[in-house]
Amino acid sequence: ALSIGIVGLPNVGKSTLFTALTKKGGLAANYPFATIDPNVGIVDVPDARLHELAKIVQPKRILPATVEFVDIAGLVKGANEGEGLGNQFLANIRETDAICEVVRYFKDPDVVHVDGRVDPASDAETIMTELVLADIQTLEKQVPKLEKEARRDRALGNKLDLARRLIAWLNEGNRAAALEMSAEERACAREFFLLTMKPMLYVANVDEDALGEELTPIAGVPPIPICAKVEAELSELEPHEAAEYLADLGLEHSGLETLAQAAYRLLGLQSYFTAGEQEVRAWTVRQGATAPEAAGVIHTDFQRGFIKAEVISYDDYVELGGEQGARAAGKLRMEGKDYVMVDGDVVHFRFNV
């Protein structure tokens, strides 16, 4: 699943949000393992199309795409204090596709702000500095090893040069992602697992009565408003109660779901669907993925043995009342290995085993 690391200053509401994430409530009901690792929470990506497909197919279950949130709060703290980090913890961070910073907007005077005032832009800068420092540390740890290996292997010389260039760039207070790099260098830089190489999104933890208000952008990006307190309350409710509560607030989705959707967009992802009696399910691919790549998301065997894809566009599928109707109307297409997936395609893969 798509995975996102959560960071933020102390007292901004990360734990509150995380508790909401790892409680069952109405969220991600299909994931019994979601609560085993206290550092990981899973949220469904809401997609109304799944319900339209389900009306036609009447499946036993609906499986939406999911986003996994990983609490990496300890990372920033650890980097600062030079503490060693556990292997599992490091693995969690490496696997994250993006970083989400929780920024305090709620005013509550009873909750102390670490710097004594609520100032989102300045808080975001503080955290960015921490992420940059963590990356410098990551790189500096790898340099001695690279120096040794580069004596034997020329290719590693380039990697070493890149590491040094990145260190200098980060030392000027820049994000790694902003360094001008060739496609090859960028791929190489990814092997360092730097935090500031990852796309960044901001969550504004606002007061409940400020949920509808427009927010000042952070680093040029509009933050996604969430009220951690509301999310915590939602996570305690049964799904139908949660829906009612949201409706009272004038919202359709929980803040966590909205966040999951935003992350999906930020990362240039899209969905395709499989629809059968057992389940209607959304699968995640990057925009521009080919049919075999999409098949590989279900199973690597599907990709390896890919023959063709039977594709019906989402609109055709719904308009024509499902596969039979689409087939009769000539709207079921046979697509080969060069086909580029379109968001919402309803697909059957044919493959050799």
Distance, in Å, from the CA atom of 67 to the CA atom of 3, rounded to the nearest integer, reads 6
Query: 13, 65, 70, 12: which is closest to 41 by C-alpha?
Result: 70
Phi/psi of residue 104, nearest 5 degrees: -80, 125
Residue range at the interface with ligand GDP (CB under 6 A); choices 38-46, 150-158, 221-229, 296-304: 221-229
Residue range at the interface with ligand GDP (CB under 6 A); choices 105-113, 260-268, 306-314, 326-334: 105-113
Number of chain positions touching ligand GDP (CB under 6 A): 15
In the bound state with ligand GDP, the residue whose beta carbon lies nearer, of 43 and 127, is: 127
In the bound state with ligand GDP, the residue whose beta carbon lies nearer, of 18 and 264, is: 18
Query: Minimal distance in Å, beta carbon 68 to ligand GDP?
Result: 19
Q: Decide if residue 111 touches ligand GDP (CB under 6 A).
A: yes
In the bound state with ligand GDP, the residue whose beta carbon lies nearer, of 10 and 86, is: 10
Chain CA centroid to CA 229, Å: 22
* Tokens representing residue 345 in the block: 């395609």
Distance, in Å, from the CA atom of 257 to the CA atom of 62, rounded to the nearest integer, reads 16
Taking the alpha carbons at both ends of the chain, their separation in whole angstroms is 25
Distance, in Å, from the CA atom of 233 to the CA atom of 220, rounded to the nearest integer, reads 31
Query: Minimal distance in Å, beta carbon 35 to ligand GDP?
Result: 18
Query: Minimal distance in Å, beta carbon 76 to ligand GDP?
Result: 11
Applying CB under 6 A, among 2, 103, 227, 346 the residue interacting with ligand GDP is: 227
Distance, in Å, from the CA atom of 240 to the CA atom of 258, rounded to the nearest integer, reads 18
Binding site membership: which residues? 11-16
Interaction residues for ligand GDP, span 163-192 (CB under 6 A): none
The DSSP code sequence of 119-182 is -HHHHHHHHHHHHHHHHHHHHHHHHHHHHHHHTT-HHHHHHHHHHHHHHHHHHTT--GGGS---
Residue range at the interface with ligand GDP (CB under 6 A); choices 121-129, 227-235, 322-330, 331-339: 227-235
Q: Decide if residue 340 touches ligand GDP (CB under 6 A).
A: no
In the bound state with ligand GDP, the residue whose beta carbon lies nearer, of 13 and 41, is: 13
Residue range at the interface with ligand GDP (CB under 6 A); choices 37-45, 106-114, 174-182, 319-327: 106-114
In the bound state with ligand GDP, the residue whose beta carbon lies nearer, of 110 and 338, is: 110
Q: Decide if residue 121 touches ligand GDP (CB under 6 A).
A: no
Interaction residues for ligand GDP, span 4-63 (CB under 6 A): 8, 10-16
Q: Decide if residue 106 touches ligand GDP (CB under 6 A).
A: yes
SS3 200: strand
Q: Could you tell me where the DSSP H helices lie in the chain?
A: 14-22, 48-57, 73-81, 87-95, 120-150, 154-171, 183-190, 228-235, 239-248, 255-266, 291-298, 300-304, 314-319, 323-328
Distance, in Å, from the CA atom of 20 to the CA atom of 39, rounded to the nearest integer, reads 12
Q: Decide if residue 124 touches ligand GDP (CB under 6 A).
A: no
Applying CB under 6 A, among 22, 92, 138, 205 the residue interacting with ligand GDP is: 205
67 - beta bridge partners? 2, 43
Query: Minimal distance in Å, beta carbon 225 to ligand GDP?
Result: 10
Q: Decide if residue 108 touches ligand GDP (CB under 6 A).
A: yes
In the bound state with ligand GDP, the residue whose beta carbon lies nearer, of 56 and 227, is: 227
Phi/psi of residue 7, nearest 5 degrees: -130, 170
Q: Decide if residue 229 touches ligand GDP (CB under 6 A).
A: yes
Can you give the binding site for ligand GDP, defined by CB under 6 A?
8, 10-16, 106, 108, 111, 205, 227-229
